[in-house]
Structure formats: structure tokens, C-alpha cells
Structure 1
Amino acid sequence: MAVVTLQNLTVAYGRFVALRDFSVQVPEGCVGLLGPNGAGKTTMLKTMLGFIKPAGGGGDVLGNVIGRDGNAIRQVVGYMPEQDCHIPGMNAVQFVAYAGELAGMARNHALQRAHEVIEYTGLGEARYRAVETYSTGMKQRIKLAQALVHGPKLLLLDEPTNGLDPRGRHEMLDLVKDISHNKGVNVLVCSHLLPDIERTCDSVVVIAQGQMRLQGEVQQLRGLASRAIDVELRESSGAFLQAMGKRGFSLVSAKGNWYRMESGEPTGDLAAPVFAAANEAGVQVRGLKPGMRSLEEAFMEAIDAR
């Protein structure tokens, strides 16, 4: 089931088109919105929330129509923006509770929930400190807390690890995984950092130049490369490479006695040509496994596709 559906969405800032005829269905679970800086990721999130009016197309978020049901969308969606959003003079409890009230919560309920999510995000001991005195890592956590306070069904996280040190990044990603996998909240993580997406997300949408380039499950995208096979030989052999070349294979990379070979044409059986070439070259095959493609390779292929 799709939690977000966008159809032929076009968003422009003057003459600059940030999203062009953009269509996607975002499934349940933790989904990564991956793309280089300026690809249109933040524009997509803000349009979904009703902050930006599209020039064409449309869609829905959890059944609520984009551009028409803005208030209803914001009551069921939590948004963690990339930029700081604290209000000067407010402590963490006041700020998060106020965010809850803006989402339609009663004041007492918002205050109770504020304490709960502040504790959950690890800021319990600093809850009465003014937010402007927080470190960068603490400000990221308080942005997450205000996005969670009203119990959203969908969480939009825009660069959640922005500015964090390695430990802070690790802890933030652990929170994102827990929210998605243990709290039952759908999460859309907007990032240009491949490791963050690989660690937290079940599937990914790749966007570049305002257009959707690729979508699929993370395991699938970094899974088997249908034309590649990794071969370990007992010893290095130029004769083996020549024999593989006769069979339409080229050398992609070599490390020690491991060789990644890629077929020029899709083929169902990659092992048979390897053993035939090894027999011709008089070498022993010690290891054989399908060539694996990294998410980075899939990402770069998608970005460079057009």
C-alpha cells in the first residue's frame, strides 16, 4: 500500500523547474529519498505538506489530497526540516508541546507527549534548557522530537544527520530505525548520504534534476548484477583473461587472485564459460560467486542515465 502517491507533479520557482512531471508511489516502511544536492528532494517534501503549490499534477498523502487537505496532512505527518526551526526563548518542553498544539493536540496532552518524546530522543536532562543553547546534535534531536509529538503515521526527515559527529550520526540513525521498525511509523528519509540510506531504509527512490530516476528495494538495487561474476583463481593468469575475452567477458576489477568479470550480453549461466575458460588456460578455479552491485553503483547508474 502506498502512503504517498504523486502523479505528474510539476513545481517551479519562477522559471526554474524544481520538479518536472514527477510521479512516484512511496510504499509503507522506511523509504529513502536519495539524490544529489539540488535534486528536488526538499521541494517534494514541502509540496507534500502543502507549503508549496504545484504548477501541475497532484497526489495524495495517506489519502489526503495535496493542495486541498493541507491541515489534515499536517495532523498525520511529522516533519523534521533540514534547517533549525526552534523558537528563541522557549525551552525544549515548551517548544515541543507548542508543536503538538499546532498539530491539533489539546494543551495538556501536548505537554504530556512532549515529555515522552523528549525523553525518547535522549534530551530528558536538558528539557528545561533554552533550545538556542543546544549543540548541533541536540538541535537535531529536538527537531525529531517535535516531529514525533503528535503521533504521526508518516515521518518526513530532511537530512536528519546533517552536522552530526560520528557518534551523533550513529545514534540518530538508531532512532530512525527504531521508529520505523519498532514503533510502526512510516518514514521517508531525505538524504544525499548513501550510507545513511543503506543503514536505515527498506527501499529507495532516486531523484535527480527534478525527475524520478530509480525506485526499488535496497537489497534488490544493490543485489545481483546479472552480467557479473566474481572468480578466484589459484594463481593469476593472463591466459584465463584472454580465454574469457573470447567468450564475451571483460575484466571489471581485480584484487589479488579475485577477478570480477562481466558479460557483454545477458546470460543465464555465468559459471559454464568460467570453467571452460579455466580449462582452456590450464588454471584452477578456487572460488565463484555472483558479482554484487553496491547501492552507490546503482545510484550513480541512475544519476548518469540521462
Structure 2
Amino acid sequence: MTILATEGLTRRFPRVTALDQLTVTVGAGVTGLVGANGAGKSTLIKILLGLLEPSAGGAQVLGMDVTSRGAEIRRVVGYMPEHDCLPPDLSATEFTVHMARMSGLPRTAARERAADVLRHVGLYEERYRPMGGYSTGMKQRVKLAQALVHDPRLVMLDEPTNGLDPQGRDEMLGLIRRIGSEFGISVLVTSHLLGELERVCDHVIVIDGGRLLRSSAIGEFTQNTETVSVEVEEGQDALAARLAELGESVTPNGRTLLVQVRAPETFDAVRDAVCELDLHLIRMEQRRQRIEDIFREPANV
């Protein structure tokens, strides 16, 4: 099932092209949109919501054209903006109920749904406090709650972990994963933190300078490479020298050595060298590719 699709999508501003001939298709599940700040992620979301017109090309969300059916799209899509947009004098309940009413829910249903989503995001006990006194993490949770309150078919989350500490990021990522896996709502989540998307996404789209670099299932990004990572307690330099003598290709990488696997015998060579030098082996594992590796490769559309 196609959730959204773009064809030659372009958006030009007076001094910059934010999106440049972007053609991509997104299916159901949790999809990550990754790129550096200024890559065009927020511009793409605004176009998909019908809030910004493209300069060229087109896009559809849930089968609806973004240029002619923006209001219909926004009724069935939830949106969590990147910027701080919460009125400080309202409580989370008041704000979430208001957003539910704006989406067309009757008053009673809006209050019930607001209570449900605030419980889901972990704000049930704090729901009547003015949001001006909330921490950054609590504000992010309110923004997520209002994006879910009208039971959308798709939610678009723009940098949802911005400003959060490590624990807060972990909790937010857990909530995002649950939205896709337990509630069956498709998710498009943007981030410039590549490791985060590896943890929660089924599919990842990589853009740079408004152009598509790659669109692949997460498993294709994180497949095993032909490299083994070796870490020893001490004696890393001696181990590297010994492996080089044995004809292995070795590259230091911080506390580890990256050894190119030329044949199954490479693993035996590492084991034997560690034993000969009487070193304490901490770990030896086949290295996996990471999303960030795509930025080191030539563009692959």
C-alpha cells in the first residue's frame, strides 16, 4: 500500500532550491527521512500537508493530490512540528481537546481521545498543568499527543527528539515504534541523527541538498559488510602489525581494528594472532553498514 509518493517534486526559493526533482514512494510502516539540517526535510513535509506549493512536479498523500486536496489530507494526517508552538497558559488537556475539535471530533469524543493519547505518551498525571511549566520532553510529548488525537492514518513527525536528553530520546523513539507496530498508524519521521532511525524505522529515505540519495528498507542499509571489527584490551598496535605481516588489510578505527575479510581464513588469522601475542580479546564481530555510510558513497538513486 502506497502512503505517499512524489514525482519530480521541486521547490525553489529565491536563493536556494530546497527540493530538486525528488521522486520517491513510501509504503505503510515507519519510514525515516534523514538528511542534514537544510536538506529539505521540513519543506517536503509542508508540501505533503498542502501548506506549501511545489515549484514543479507533484505529490500524493493517501492517494490525494497535495495541491488540490490539502484540507482533506490534513483531516486524516497527524503532524508534529519541529518548532515550539504550544500556548503556555493552556493545559495539555485543553490544548489536545482543542486540536481534536479542530479535526472534527465532537466535544465528548474529543475529551475521551485526548485522555487516551495523553495517557499513551506518559502525560496523564500532568495533563491539567499549564504547559508553560513543562520541560522540553513533556512539550514534545504534548505535540505527539495532538498529532494522534484524531486517530490519523498517517503521522508526520518533524525532528521529534530535538532538545531531548538521551533518556528522553529513548522514550520518544519507543513511542514512535509503538505507533507503527501496535496502533497500525503509518509514520514518516525526520531526523538528522542517523542512529535513531536505524532503531525504529522499517524504511529509510536519505536526501541531501534536496535530492534523493537513496530509498531502501532498513535491512539493506544495515546488512553485514566484508569487514570484521576487533577490539582487544591492550596491544592494538602490535595486533595490527602482526595481522599486516600475515597479509591482512587492517585499518585502525578508534578502540577497534577493522580487518577486511578476504577469505574465511581471516577469522583464523585474527584468532591466532591474538593468542600468539597473549592479548585479551574483548570482541570480534562482523561489522554492519550504517545509514551514515551512504553519505560517503556516490549518489545512488
Same fold (TM over 0.5): yes
Q: Distance in 2 between matches of 1:58 and 1:28?
A: 20
Superposed CA offset, 1:70-90 (max 9, x none) = 111111111000111223432
Residues 34-53 of structure 1: matches in 2 within 5 Å? 34-53=34-53
Structure-2 change in CA distance of 1:108 and 1:213 (3 Å) = same
Give the alignment's Cα RMSD to 1 decimal: 3.1
Q: SS of the counterpart of 1:162? A: coil
Q: Distance in 1 between matches of 2:86 and 2:202?
A: 31
Q: Distance in 2 between matches of 1:23 and 1:32?
A: 16
Letter in 1 for 2:290: L
Q: Distance in 2 between matches of 1:164 and 1:254?
A: 29
Structure-2 change in CA distance of 1:140 and 1:230 (3 Å) = closer
Structure-2 change in CA distance of 1:291 and 1:145 (3 Å) = same
Gaps of 5+ in 1: 264-269
2:264 match: 271
1:25 match: 25
Structure-2 change in CA distance of 1:223 and 1:253 (3 Å) = farther
Q: SS of the counterpart of 2:53? A: coil
Superposed CA offset, 1:214-242 (max 9, x none) = 121222212122x545689xx94757536
1:200 match: 200
Residue pair 2:251, 2:257 contacting (<8 A) in 1 also: no
Structure-2 change in CA distance of 1:216 and 1:165 (3 Å) = same
Letter in 2 for 1:271: P
2:91 match: 91
Provide the TM-score with structure 1 as the length reference.
0.83
Superposed CA offset, 1:75-112 (max 9, x none) = 11110001112234322112111111222222322122
Residues 168-247 of structure 1: matches in 2 within 5 Å? 168-225=168-225, 227-228=226-227, 236=239, 238=241, 241=244, 244=247
Structure-2 change in CA distance of 1:82 and 1:231 (3 Å) = closer
Residues 1-306 of structure 1: matches in 2 within 5 Å? 1-225=1-225, 227-228=226-227, 236=239, 238=241, 241=244, 244=247, 250-253=249-252, 259-261=258-260, 270-271=263-264, 274=266, 291-302=286-297
Q: Distance in 2 between matches of 1:102 and 1:47?
A: 21
Superposed CA offset, 1:175-200 (max 9, x none) = 11111111111111100112221221
Residue pair 1:91, 1:128 contacting (<8 A) in 2 also: yes
Shift of 1:118: 1.1
Gaps of 5+ in 2: 232-237, 276-280
Q: How many residues are aligned here? A: 288
Q: Distance in 2 between matches of 1:129 and 1:256?
A: 47
Shift of 1:50: 0.6
Letter in 2 for 1:25: T
Q: Distance in 2 between matches of 1:194 and 1:221?
A: 11
Q: Distance in 2 between matches of 1:2 and 1:239?
A: 53
Q: Distance in 1 between matches of 2:135 and 2:260?
A: 49
Shift of 1:33: 0.7
Letter in 2 for 1:165: D
Provide the TM-score with structure 2 as the length reference.
0.84
Structure-2 change in CA distance of 1:291 and 1:94 (3 Å) = same
Residue pair 1:236, 1:257 contacting (<8 A) in 2 also: no
Q: Distance in 2 between matches of 1:299 and 1:143?
A: 31
Shift of 1:297: 4.2
